[in-house]
Structure 1
């Protein structure tokens, strides 16, 4: 039995695989022949001219299912006894590019820790092609994204042959926590076939942000001072330190601790919420001003921290005027001092003037006590002393004015009723003429 090798492309129905002829040297029935092949293959024998046959495909062959067929052709005569011979044909199915590359997963999720080094290998994608030869060679590429804010070309790259991905630069979790894109896989057939898969990159947080204090502000300006009444009970809420952390998870869990205090044991800080409370009752021996240093620390590894300074002023009550701390800005302190001096000077001048008037009235009352009668008024003939009244146009009374004093006498007592100026007639006439 001889063997013949033949090749036929897949997906080609009714294709002639081989053409052969048979013969028998006998005559009559002994020379008549019957030709056949096995039944379980997609091939058939079709007679051509006398003693010639064609081996053809009955349907489209699929190389990916069966790449090779071994066909046995049996020729039997009709003599007695019957004689037969067999001939083998090996049919190899040649590949046609009828399969697109297929990814091993429909989607990929890759986890990358932030602050990675550039050119870091962050993962791979893989696709296979059931074809053979060039039809099975796969190349990878990044497909264009529809997100205008995602500059994909600056974030990741892919090796066209191996499918190894994504980081071109250091990634920042606080700026970009996750992003996704599609990767294409194409074979080198003609025409080329392709497919794509979704890739999602998730950044893992690194503890690279220290806590940031929102209150009280630590911006170098005049410190914020908290007022604390001396009557406060133990556990009194003085203030609360408010801080945030740009990280996530345990890297953003904050705890608070009192590092230093002007008077240890007087204040305490709650570890989980930053509340500053009194630890005991206050006494007269406690200082009026206190400075607290609070530590804010995250739970990262290693932990990062920040400090905040608090100023507390003890007062007898919230109605007590607030006095600025000595650390206040010099310009503000100077302005406040000048205002106080002006108020004191104005009050002194006003007091001196009122005292002088009241003293003069008292003296005149004493002189006229005997002459006063009930319901009558006396007009004193004298004038105020010049050294008290003549102030040369400073807004006080002139010595050309007189005062009318009304006294009411009853039961031996004198009472000051009213005081009003009397303008001399000459002054009134001069005024009218002017």
Structure 2
């Protein structure tokens, strides 16, 4: 019984020590510090003694130090005055990418007696990146018969900043044919769409050059641009037109077979295949078809047989 009774106080001491260690390693809320990214090395972050409600001398007496996850060496503690300083510049985009907020957890370790205080360093974004288009030139081929209101997707820009400093809007250079509308994805990205407002006419304007601008929400804002080339694709909307409405020729009756009678010429302002012209008789009589031969590509009319005035 004495042996058992003698062990009970030791067990209680061990349990009591474990409880104390458990409490010292936890905190209801981490102590918050914040810093703006790209601040110079040695910049002031906060005063640890003030944040913990300690006298300045306690930090030296208790040999206080800071420890970051992964043994990163971003912070240094001046025990004498309690100031927490930056050891190096911090790049929020490198540390956290698109995640927001950017939080670096760390611990403040105190000895004599031993105590752990959980803390967080929040790295705030600055507008240090401009929106960038991966493609600096976009090419759209749009048939001239396309109806107003038709929407065309464009390449979006990327911005490494977050929050208000990230990409907010797109604009297009002033013109009477197109405007920009913005489509937002479920992830919060913004995509530009080109909307046709007017009627295209290739013969009047075969190409439209526009400047697409992406703008972020920083103060002052940053922007990036890309060129949008719209090629108006032809449709067969124009008929060939003869250079003369009527051709009059005189043919001597002694003209030999194969003689050229006349060359007719027409033009078509459509492009490509739609602008190629061939010539043919429209409902020729048997006599005309027997007497003349028409070169359909050249518009040249030749005699097939001898002419007889009588």
TM-score (norm 2): 0.72
Q: How many residues align?
A: 256
Q: How does 1:325-364 map to 2 (within 5 A)?
A: none
**Which residue does the alignment assign to 2:159?**
129
Q: Is the 8 A contact 1:127 1:138 kept in 2?
A: no
Q: How does 1:10-409 map to 2 (within 5 A)?
A: 10-13=37-40, 14-17=43-46, 19-20=48-49, 33=63, 35=65, 37=67, 39-49=71-81, 53-66=82-95, 67-75=102-110, 86-143=116-173, 152=175, 154-159=176-181, 162-214=191-243, 217-218=244-245, 223-259=246-282, 260-261=284-285, 262-279=287-304, 281-282=305-306, 284=308, 288=309
Question: Unaligned regions of 5+ residues in structure 2, if any?
Answer: 1-24, 55-60, 96-101, 184-190
CA distance in 2 between counterparts of 1:230 and 1:94 reads 98
Question: Unaligned regions of 5+ residues in structure 1, if any?
Answer: 24-30, 78-82, 145-151, 289-313, 315-434
Q: Is the 8 A contact 1:245 1:252 kept in 2?
A: yes
- Post-superposition offset of 1:134: 1.8
- Post-superposition offset of 1:249: 0.6
CA distance in 2 between counterparts of 1:69 and 1:34 reads 19
In structure 2, the CA distance between the partners of 1:178 and 1:231, relative to structure 1 (3 Å rule), is same
Q: Is the 8 A contact 2:62 2:110 kept in 1?
A: no
TM-score (norm 1): 0.53
Q: Which moved more, 1:180-189 or 1:157-166?
A: 157-166
CA distance in 1 between counterparts of 2:250 and 2:307 reads 16
